[in-house]
């Protein structure tokens, strides 16, 4: 075939200016595979179409295609996005953003060696769980605490340690699913414990738990319903009744608190969230919660409570499998210090929850003015997300975007394909950018993107 004769030698393509940026690693296997792929595709194309194309032109064309493919292959899959959805602890967007200061601390620690499992005073082997424990004890006023990979791991570990081969008593109304395949009955089954459900879907009394206690009972479980609420004819024992029953019958009590609210956020519209401190003060034996929901820290599962029980958990070989790395501990310690100083605004998720409506109104108004006719400042409701109360709305402000000739779905898509991607919200067939979840430092980028959309192209 005549057309195929125009295909340049591989070396000519590799020397093309289009590939200058990639030259240092063009001989790596992943790059040669891409080059081979593009040559194969070109050969197929030419043998079909067969039209004559000059060799020089073909060289440039192939080099450009290789450059495109290489650039794609070298773009990390995990990217920064602008969260304009108004959902503060958005599970799909990485939940809690981490404090700037924590990242500096992380850089120092992680780029060198650290005393992760080394006792500097004694000059001997130490334990990785001592680092966060001291701070957790001070913050939560508990006897002991440990940290694992996430709250699902924490629940699994507690159930397996305390109830493997025995029974766990839990209310039918608390057999919840959080999403991302976390379901209480399933995790319970995996722990080796047998679930003994009591009460009815909407009403469970303390007598129901009490009547179910027998020789094989190992644990009384209570679960925060998180992102779901029952209203109307409902009943649930108080924390005090639950703790008293455990004490009277000598069965340990455990509460999966989910979101892990440590600081009262009632003023910000989250009065409904149970506080970790309330459960511990009530005398519950163990609690667990997520590090990256309302706590505002890194992904982690925190288990706090009575020392003899935590010591048993520490000895469980599963603890070794579920432990956290130095990066998590470093960030967690930073967040714990912020709590101890009472500096809640140093924790970005909390700063966002606490940002005042007046402040957001000013930001939205200014943003709309700068963006031009396509944007209108409007009052909104943000949601905390991350397994907190579904009806907890926080009064917020943002902008509504509307561009003549472009549908709301089109705009949503164009924003998502911009750089960095912007995750917007569609509400009542309007495209909304909620500024509560947009960092001030991101506003400039957002403004550039919105102006670009308005002027027709990015």
Asked if 172 and 223 count as a contact pair (C-beta separation under 8 A), the reply is no
CA distance 11 to 375: 52
Among residues 178 and 276, whose Cβ is nearest to ligand PLP? 178
CA distance 298 to 269: 23
Residue 95: CB minimum distance to ligand PLP, A: 8
DSSP classification of residue 97: P
CA distance 353 to 347: 10
Residue with tokens 């395949």: 181
Closest C-alpha among 134, 53, 161, 69 to residue 336: 134
Residue 262: CB minimum distance to ligand PLP, A: 15
Among residues 16 and 276, whose Cβ is nearest to ligand PLP? 276
Residue 345: both structure tokens together: 């605004």
The site for ligand PLP (CB under 6 A) is made up of 150-152, 155, 178, 182, 223-224, 226, 256, 258-259, 290, 301, 387
At residue 9, φ and ψ (nearest 5 deg) are -65, 150
CA distance 378 to 361: 8
Residue 258: CB minimum distance to ligand PLP, A: 2
Among residues 83 and 259, whose Cβ is nearest to ligand PLP? 259
Among residues 182 and 254, whose Cβ is nearest to ligand PLP? 182
Residue 106: both structure tokens together: 């992380």
Residue 386: CB minimum distance to ligand PLP, A: 7
Chain residue whose CB lies nearest ligand PLP: 258
Among residues 86 and 385, whose Cβ is nearest to ligand PLP? 385
Among residues 293 and 363, whose Cβ is nearest to ligand PLP? 293
How much is the CA Rg of the chain, to the nearest whole Å? 28
CA distance 298 to 94: 10
Query: DSSP for 159-204?
Result: HHHHHTTSEEEEEGGG--EEETTEEHHHHHHHTTPEEEEES-SSB-
Among residues 178 and 403, whose Cβ is nearest to ligand PLP? 178
What's the angle, vertex CA 252, arms to CA 249 and CA 253, rounded to 5? 105
Residue 152: CB minimum distance to ligand PLP, A: 3
Among residues 222 and 400, whose Cβ is nearest to ligand PLP? 222
Residue 290: CB minimum distance to ligand PLP, A: 3
Residue 234: CB minimum distance to ligand PLP, A: 17
At residue 284, φ and ψ (nearest 5 deg) are -65, 145
Residue 182: CB minimum distance to ligand PLP, A: 5
CA distance 443 to 309: 48
Residue 426: CB minimum distance to ligand PLP, A: 25
CA distance 224 to 205: 16
């Amino acid at each position: 075939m005549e057309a195929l004769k125009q295909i340049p030698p591989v070396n000519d393509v590799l020397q093309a200016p289009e590939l200058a940026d990639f030259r240092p690693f063009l001989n790596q296997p992943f790059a040669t595979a891409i080059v081979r792929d593009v040559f194969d595709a070109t050969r197929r194309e030419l043998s079909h179409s067969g039209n004559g194309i000059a060799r020089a032109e073909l060289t440039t064309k192939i080099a450009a295609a290789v450059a495109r493919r290489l650039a794609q292959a070298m773009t990390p899959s995990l990217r920064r996005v602008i969260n304009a959805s108004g959902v503060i602890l958005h599970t799909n967007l990485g939940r809690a953003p981490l404090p700037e200061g924590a990242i500096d601390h992380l850089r120092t620690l992680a780029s060198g060696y650290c005393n992760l499992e080394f006792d500097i005073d004694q000059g001997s082997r130490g334990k990785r769980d001592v680092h966060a424990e001291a701070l957790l004890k001070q913050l939560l006023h508990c006897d002991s605490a440990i940290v694992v990979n996430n709250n699902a791991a924490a629940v699994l570990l507690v159930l397996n340690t305390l109830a493997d081969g025995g029974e766990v008593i839990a209310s039918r109304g608390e057999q919840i699913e959080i999403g991302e395949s976390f379901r209480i009955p399933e995790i319970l089954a995996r722990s080796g414990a047998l679930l003994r459900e009591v009460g009815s879907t909407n009403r469970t009394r303390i007598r129901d738990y009490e009547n179910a206690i027998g020789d094989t009972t190992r644990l009384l479980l209570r679960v925060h319903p998180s992102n779901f609420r029952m209203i109307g004819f409902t009943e649930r024992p108080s924390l005090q009744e639950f703790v008293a029953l455990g004490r009277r019958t000598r069965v340990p009590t455990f509460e999966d608190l989910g979101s892990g609210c440590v600081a009262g956020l009632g003023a910000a519209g989250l009065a409904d969230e149970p506080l970790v401190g309330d459960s511990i003060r009530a005398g519950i034996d163990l609690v667990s919660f997520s590090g990256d929901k309302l706590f505002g820290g890194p992904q982690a599962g925190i288990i706090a409570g009575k020392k003899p029980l935590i010591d048993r958990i520490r000895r469980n070989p599963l603890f070794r499998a579920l432990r956290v790395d130095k990066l998590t501990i470093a960030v967690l310690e930073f967040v714990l210090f912020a709590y101890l100083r009472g500096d809640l605004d140093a924790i970005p998720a909390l700063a966002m929850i606490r940002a005042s409506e007046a402040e957001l109104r000013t930001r939205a108004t200014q943003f709309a003015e700068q963006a031009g006719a396509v944007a209108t400042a409007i009052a909104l409701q943000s949601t905390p997300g991350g397994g907190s109360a579904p009806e907890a709305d926080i009064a917020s402000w943002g902008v509504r975007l509307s561009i003549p000739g472009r549908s709301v779905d089109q705009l949503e898509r164009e924003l998502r394909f911009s750089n960095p991607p912007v995750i917007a919200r569609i509400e009542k067939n309007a495209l909304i950018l909620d500024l509560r979840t947009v960092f001030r430092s991101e506003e400039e980028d957002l403004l550039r993107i919105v102006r670009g959309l308005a002027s027709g192209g990015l």
